[in-house]
Amino acid sequence: MTRATPLADTMNDVDASHLVHGLQVSFQHLGMTYGTGTTALQDVDLSVRTGEMVAIVGPSGCGKSTLLRLAAGLERPSRGSVAVGTRSVGFIFQEPTLLPWASVRRNVALLGELARLPREVARGRVEDAILAVGLEDFADQLPRSLSGGMRMRVSLARALALEPQVMLLDEPFGALDEMTREEMQLQLLDLYERRRFTALFVTHSVSEAVLLADRVVVMSARPGRIRAVVDVDLPRPRGPELRFEASYVDQVKHISELLRGVR
């Protein structure tokens, strides 16, 4: 499911009272055991600074999605705490489930939070978001007439229209072909340059993590624990040329090796 995101009402359990200044998301001694008895996360300590982009990589089933759902307040932790310094949170999932009968513009506009804004303000936000993802020529079309990449851009625009301070992205480009995926990575980098939201980004792709993130968190197989946190040493703004630079390639290699070690 793609939600982008009327989360505010679900965030009551996500406490911000013990967030240190400059931090936007913080997990402390976090543990999560589902009702089925599966322990998805154990002893996770992680803080994300305001305006920082953090990528999470790890084997399938290590609790990455669980971590994002906890940040969104969609699940309650079994142990430890989650703190999020804002209620302005956008959530983007792998499948950009759009309303098939509604145009791109209506899909972006149909969010509860936007409805509470003055109509002109909401309209401006919607148009800005559509422009930001480059879909202005397709605003009146239905989702079925769009490519997979364009549908994902609608999903991004829907989240951006709320101007969220925190973006939670769960494998947002996982279902796209490689070329479209690369385009979307650059688009996200560009949006990040302009809007500087705080982001937690789950991905299977180490190269994507290094391209996008300020830090990459490597998690172990279930129960997910943090095995390493690697600072990405690459200047911003970042562009496509980075993929060929030795420093980028070295960092991808280093993190890939760490990841191999936890499987």
User: Measured from the CB of residue 4, what is the shortest distance to ligand ADP in angstroms?
Assistant: 18
Give the whole-angstrom CA distance, residue 191 versus residue 135: 14
Using the contact rule CB under 6 A, the part of the chain among 56-64, 85-93, 146-154, 230-238 near ligand ADP is: 56-64
Look up residue 193 and give its amino acid. Answer: E
Site string for ligand ADP, 216-245 (x = CB under 6 A): ------x-----------------------
Task: Give 118-180 as a DSSP string.
Answer: -HHHHHHHHHHHHHHTT-GGGTTS-GGGS-HHHHHHHHHHHHHTT--SEEEEESTTTTS-HHH
User: Measured from the CB of residue 124, what is the shortest distance to ligand ADP in angstroms?
Assistant: 36
User: Measured from the CB of residue 157, what is the shortest distance to ligand ADP in angstroms?
Assistant: 25
* Interaction between residue 164 and ligand ADP (CB under 6 A): no
Query: Of these, 18, 38, 45, 250, which contacts ligand ADP (CB under 6 A)?
Result: 38
If 0-12 CB within 10 Å is exposed, 13-18 middle and 19+ buried, where does residue 151 land?
buried
Using the contact rule CB under 6 A, the part of the chain among 18-26, 62-70, 142-150, 247-255 near ligand ADP is: 62-70
Query: Of these, 1, 21, 60, 246, which contacts ligand ADP (CB under 6 A)?
Result: 60
Residue with smaller CB distance to ligand ADP, 66 or 187: 66
Which run of H or E residues covers position 66?
A: helix 64-71
Map 181-247 to HEC letters: HHHHHHHHHHHHHHHCCEEEEECCCHHHHHHHCCEEEEECCCCECEEEEEECCCCCCCCHHHHHCHH
Contact (Cβ atoms closer than 8 angstroms) between residue 132 and residue 44: no
Query: Of these, 5, 66, 187, 251, which contacts ligand ADP (CB under 6 A)?
Result: 66
Residue with smaller CB distance to ligand ADP, 63 or 90: 63
Using the contact rule CB under 6 A, the part of the chain among 31-39, 79-87, 159-167, 205-213 near ligand ADP is: 31-39
- Name the residues that contact ligand ADP, by CB under 6 A: 34, 36, 38, 40, 58, 60-66, 222
